[in-house]
């Protein structure tokens, strides 16, 4: 099973975007989400029970970014 790494330090909308980001609302600021956790958060968002993940990774030269 793969993991999705979330690094809030590399989020381009950090600050104002944190207020209703699902990561901040449900989990604080975790470093990683497993694929099944990410899918569960998507289901909650689809049902209107949680906000969507709003992470927008900053793209750096020579770096693939973290998301």
Q: Where are the domains of the chain?
A: 1-67
Q: What angle do CA 3, 24, 66 make, to 5 degrees?
A: 40
**Cα(63)–Cα(55) distance, integer angstroms:** 17
Q: Is the pLDDT of residue 42 over 80?
A: yes
- pLDDT tens digits, 19-34: 778 776 566 645 566 7
Q: How confident is the model at residue 67 (pLDDT cuts 50, 70, 90)?
A: very low
Percent of the chain with pLDDT over 70: 63
Question: Per DSSP, which regions of the chain are E strands?
Answer: 3-5, 32-34
**Cα(62)–Cα(18) distance, integer angstroms:** 26
Closest CA to 28 of 48, 59, 56, 6: 6
* Range with the poorest average pLDDT among 11-15, 16-20, 42-46, 57-61: 57-61
The residues that bridge with 11 in the sheet, in sequence order, are 57
**Given this model, what pLDDT does residue 6 score?**
74
* pTM score of the predicted model: 0.40
The residues that bridge with 33 in the sheet, in sequence order, are 4
């Amino acid at each position: 099973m793969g993991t999705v790494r979330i690094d809030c330090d590399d989020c381009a909308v950090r600050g104002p975007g944190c207020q209703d980001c699902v990561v901040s609302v449900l989990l604080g600021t975790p470093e990683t989400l497993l694929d099944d956790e990410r899918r569960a958060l998507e289901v909650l968002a689809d049902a209107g029970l949680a906000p969507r993940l709003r992470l927008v990774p900053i793209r750096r030269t020579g770096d693939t970014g973290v998301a």
